[in-house]
Amino acid sequence: MQPISIVGPGAADLAAALAARLDGRVAVVDCERGSDSALGDGGVATGDAAAETPAVVTTEIALNADGEWTGRGTVGGLDDLLDGLAPDHDYLVAVGRSRLRVPTVVLGGDDPDAVPGSPLVSAASASEVDLDTLVSALDDAEPWITRETLVRRVEASADADRSGAIATFTGRVRARDASDDDRTTHLAFETYEGVAAERMEAISDELAARDGVFDVRMHHRTGVIEAGEDIVFVVVLAGHRREAFRTVEDGIDRLKDEVPIFKKEATEAEEFWVHRRE
């Protein structure tokens, strides 16, 4: 799923116009709406909101006056929505709130660097944003991939009916190794554009060629990832658990050894490139 955040005056209008231009399943998450009166059961807009919401929008969710997400239950925040909607949607448009690693449009002349997301476009008003340029830039941005997204993909593989096992590995940001360590606040990952993805695809193909292994998927997130967040996923579809477990372990080992991804660690005391410490 490709997310985008739009913040500033006119964000809702630009979100509606953008959603109408996107091709696929689109979720619109309104983080600014002060009431849930415009949402019916299941996140379907009613009343005036229905007229304003493009017909192509698959899911609409809002934050009500009590600070609860409405339309698809109550969740912990935008992160939960990103993770929950990713497997079933092609795009998510968030109005009024951004987060790290999400492409962001900043309206109203605010400083783009003050927004937690990755600045994609900055404009004084929504009318100044060229939708063709925005859609093109969005399609080039890094998607929001989750472990569940990769599981859904292997479950759709041609040999899924021969599979008796799906094994997964999730790497996450560890806050500290020992109780007296300085706490790690975040990690920042950088890569040469396209190179890491190509190498991960090659490794996946080689592992999937093993006897009893049907599909292998990998994804490594880039940018700033905070303590407790997920970094990397390896998902294996296999005939039996032994092949699945062995391939997951080999997959993450080869990813760490062979894929050119550079890591900077930030603790409460310092910042440093990890490969220079090893």
Q: What is the pLDDT of residues 6-63, one digit of tens each?
A: 999 999 999 999 999 999 999 888 886 543 323 323 333 322 333 344 444 567 766 5
- pLDDT tens digits, 190-201: 998 789 999 999
In percent, how much of the chain has pLDDT > 90?
Answer: 65
- The pair of structure tokens assigned to 194 is 């396209």
pLDDT at 115: 85
Whole-number Å distance between alpha carbons of 261 and 76: 31
123 CA to centre of own chain: 24
Q: Which of 93, 122, 139 is the last residue of a domain?
A: 139
pLDDT at 111: 79
- pLDDT tens digits, 117-138: 888 999 999 999 999 999 999 9
Q: Where are the alpha helices (DSSP H) in 4-87?
A: 11-21, 47-52, 78-85
- pLDDT tens digits, 209-259: 999 999 999 999 999 999 999 999 999 999 999 999 999 999 999 999 999
Give residue 48's identity as a one-letter amino acid code.
Answer: D
Q: Which of 116, 139, 162 is the last residue of a domain?
A: 139
Closest to 92 measured CA to CA, from 49, 61, 117, 71: 61
134 and 35 fall within a common domain: yes
100 and 210 fall within a common domain: no
Whole-number Å distance between alpha carbons of 60 and 240: 40
Could you tell me what percentage of the chain is helix, strand and coil, using 3-state DSSP and rounding each to the nearest 5? 35, 30, 35
160 and 272 fall within a common domain: yes
**How many residues are given for the chain?**
278
pLDDT band at 145 (very low <50, low <70, confident <90, very high): very high
pTM, 2 dp: 0.80
Q: Which of 139, 156, 190 is the last residue of a domain?
A: 139
In 19-164, at which residue ranges do the beta strands (DSSP E only) sit?
26-30, 57-63, 69-70, 91-95, 103-107, 118-123
- pLDDT tens digits, 150-187: 999 999 999 999 999 999 999 999 998 888 889 999 99
47 and 108 fall within a common domain: yes
Whole-number Å distance between alpha carbons of 248 and 240: 13
231 and 173 fall within a common domain: yes
29 and 124 fall within a common domain: yes
Rg (CA), the chain: 21
pLDDT at 61: 66
Q: Work out whether the CA dihedral 102, 257, 259, 167 comes out positive or negative.
A: negative
Whole-number Å distance between alpha carbons of 15 and 19: 6
pLDDT at 36: 32
* Residue listed under structure tokens 């007296």: 180
151 and 265 fall within a common domain: yes
Number of domains in the chain: 2
Residue 179: domain span: 147-276
